[in-house]
Every structure is written in structure tokens, then in C-alpha cells.
Amino acid sequence: MCGIIGIYGNDEAATLAYLGLYAQQHRGQEGAGIVTLDGGKINRVMGDGLVADVYADPDKLHDLKGNIAIGHTRYSTTGGMDRKNVGPMLFNIQDEAISVAHNGNLVDLQKIRKELQTEGAIFQTTTDTEVIIHLMARAKGKSMADRLIMALDQVVGAYSLILLTPDGLIAARDPHGWKPFAIGKMDDTWVLASETCALDLIGAEEFREVQPGEVLLINADGLQVIRGQVKQTPHHCIFEYIYFSRPDSRIFGANVDKLRRRLGNTLAIEAPVPTADIVISVPDSSNTATIGYSIASGIKHEIGLIRNHYVGRSFIRPEQKMRDLTVKLKFNTVKGVLEDKEVIIVDDSIVRGTTMKKLVRLIREAGAKAVHVRVSSPPIRYSCHFGMDFPTRDELIANKRDLDEITAYLGADSVAYLSLEGLLGSMDKPANEFCTACFSGKYPVQLEEENRKDLFE
């Protein structure tokens, strides 16, 4: 998963890009990068770690001169953690430098990669972004946008792309509209971002979304549609609503916060615990769903876990070992709240279950009489091939276990998930406009043999 940002037509382009990345830090904490175009000169500053750390030295932003910028926060999906893989990537096509920020994941690239190499292509990384660039370098289009369209026609998967080119900024979104992709405007400045929370921080108004299948060019003449929206049912990633996007963002046409609370409401109706004394959240990601649960159930919302914010967000760290070590460092129980209480703990989702297992134990140690786990999404049973960094199916707690086994594993008094119907029924859009593959196994595109097998393991 990644957060991307593009700025066109502002003397403070790098600073705005920086703010836009900062607002989208939750979309990738492994590294950050910004590229600017200053006249014909390309500048890039990137590094490992948090946005604020990468640009802690004020000289770095100062060095990023120019009024066009793109940026990228990243956590490793394909490509490993080599510094080379921290975007935005820089390439030369016919001695013209272009740079690419990419959110999403292409599928089934092995064959096309092999063909390109047979023709003499030299790959620097294993990222899917580089495949797009090689296809562009070989395309015979006149403009960079033409080359990009020819390249995208040869690949399948999820992408929200921003290209910084000598022609201007180019934005492209896959025909399924998997990932969110917003356009903002502030006076004469155009802003492209994964989420609207980036526009808010920058101070830009939301203009519209980049539509599924669109290719747009932003240059001195303004915003131009190079290729229009495709006519096909979109498949938005429903997990963005459940967990990934920030609650104050507006994606796929609705406020995340509103839908997330609605998931809590529906969960309270589907899976009540009438005897419970209090409902607590796993701060901060399930705070909103917990309030939804509390209001719909009438059970008092309390703060039973204190989160230590001096460590990062566990979901996003790529090393399993590190996560286990830091769980204890991340939450402390409030004994006065939990003692002698029957407690509902609401979480937005359960992936491996290792964190929740420990939380249940901590809550019991704090004196709770009973612990009921309620999850505001269905069980995750399938891999995501489109950019969400789930572990392999074997590691998913809900893959091979039924509800009783999960309850036993977590050590809870009861466990209940939101149903898929409940999830889809809480949305503002029709059910068929979402990708629910991680819950249902129904992938919107056909995957090659190797990946399909994964479904039936």
C-alpha cells in the first residue's frame, strides 16, 4: 500500500507535497520520497522511515525547488525493502526524465517481464512500476500520455498513478477504480492525492475523483482528459472503508467516518452482548466503529486501553518478529475501567489474531469478568493481489479456523464478525461495485494458474 501526491503550479510544490505525504503517512511508513521539476531540472530527496524524519533537515525541502512535485509514501509490497524501491522512481525515456508515484499492485507480470528482457530490457528493480516504464519506453506514442496508455493496455491490476513528465503531470487510474484517487484545487494549483485528508491539510478543495480508467494531463492549459472513464462496473477496495483510509477522508464518494460508524451500528444489531457493562475500542483504528456500536447498543463507551503513540502502527510493519515484540509496548490497560466488568472490545478487522489474543489476555489480567470480541468486518480468508499487504493465507486466522476455534485461540468469551451482507448493506453504493475478494474469494479479474491455486490450498 502507498500514499501518493502530485502538485502542479505552485512555487511551494515540494512543501505542499510534503504536507500531503504527511497527511497520508498511514498509507506507508517504510519510506518517503519527493521529486520536483524545476525548469528542466529534476530534484529528488527520498529516504527510509517516516515523512517527518526523511525531511527533518529543512535543507532537504529547500533543495526541492520547482513548481511541480510528486511524492510517495511506501511500505514494501513487491520489490523488497531495497532503497532502490522507495519511490518516486526516476527514469529516462529518450533522455527525457520522468518520475512515477504508484499506489496499487499489478498482477501476473512474469510473462511480460520475461519478454521485455529477451528484447534487451535491463531491470533495476522487481517493482511493477518499472514494468510500466519499460513498456512506455518501447511504446511508439508521440506524447508521454500516449506512451502511458499503450503501456497500461498491456497490464492488469490496481493502480493509481501520478507521472511527472516534461509534458506536465499525468494521472491514471485502473478501470476497476480499486484505489481511491482524488483531485483537488487551490487557486491555480492542482493537487492529486490518494485521499482527501491530504487536500484538507494542504488547504485545497476537492474537485472530483480521477474516474476509473481515466488518463488525465495537467499542464499550463489546465486539466485535460486524455482518455475518459471506462464503461464497466468498478470494484472499489472495501477494506479502505473498513480500516485503511483515514476517517476524515472522503473516498469512493462517501465519508469514511460515516460508513465506519455505520459498520459499528450494524455490528451492534447483528452481534449484541446484552449483559456487557462497557464497550471499548482498540485505539485509534476502531474508535469510530466502537462509538457506532455504543450508540446502537446503548452500552457505555469507555477508554480501557491506552495506546502509546511513540511506536508505529502495527499493521504496517513488515517484519512479524518486530510486531510481536512491540505489542506489549503499544497498549496499556486502564485497570480502574476494566476491573470487575463484562467488556466488549471492538476491532475493525482481525488478520493474524496475534495482537487481539494478547489484548484479551491483558484485559483479563486487568480484572475484567468477561471479554467479548466484536469485529466490524467479515473474516479475512483470502489473499489480496491488489496492494493490501495481508500475509499469506496460512497466516490468516480465519482461513482454516471456524468461529469456535478462533474464540478458543483468542481466549475470548465470545467472538463475532460482521456478516458480508451486513458490510455491503452498510455501504452507500451497490454491492457489486466493491472488491470483497479478501472476504469472499471472488477476484474481479481472472488470475493466472499460480495465483489461482492459492485460492484452493
Catalytic machinery residues: 2
Is beta strand 2-8 parallel, antiparallel or unpaired with respect to 68-74? antiparallel
- What proportions of the chain, in percent to the nearest 5, are helix, strand and coil? 35, 30, 35
The CA distance from 158 to 104, in Å, is 5
For residue 414 the three cell numbers come to 465470545
CA 382 to chain centre: 17
Q: Please list the residues that pair with 217 across neighbouring strands.
A: 170, 224
Q: Please list the residues that pair with 6 across neighbouring strands.
A: 70, 192
**Contact positions vs a second copy (CB under 8 A):** 19, 22-23, 25, 50-52, 91-95, 114, 117-124, 133-134, 137-138, 197, 200-201, 246-248, 255, 257-258, 283-284, 287-288, 291, 295, 300-303, 306-311, 328-329, 332-337
- Please write down the long-range contacts of 314-321, taking CB distance under 8 Å and 24 or more positions apart: 314/355, 315/243, 315/285, 315/351, 316/1, 316/26, 316/28, 316/29, 316/30, 316/75, 316/389, 317/29, 318/30, 318/75, 318/76, 318/81, 318/389, 320/391
Buried b (16+ CB within 10 A) or exposed e, 325-361: eebeebbebeeebbeebbbbbbbbbbbbbbbbbbbbe
Determine contact, residues 179/212, Cβ cutoff 8 Å.
no
Say which residue the cell 485545497 belongs to: 204
- Containing 110, the helix (H) or strand (E) segment is helix 110-118
CB of 264 to a second copy, least distance (A): 12
Residue 211 φ then ψ, to 5°: -80, 150
Closest C-alpha to 437, from 429, 427, 447, 426: 447
The CA distance from 414 to 409, in Å, is 11
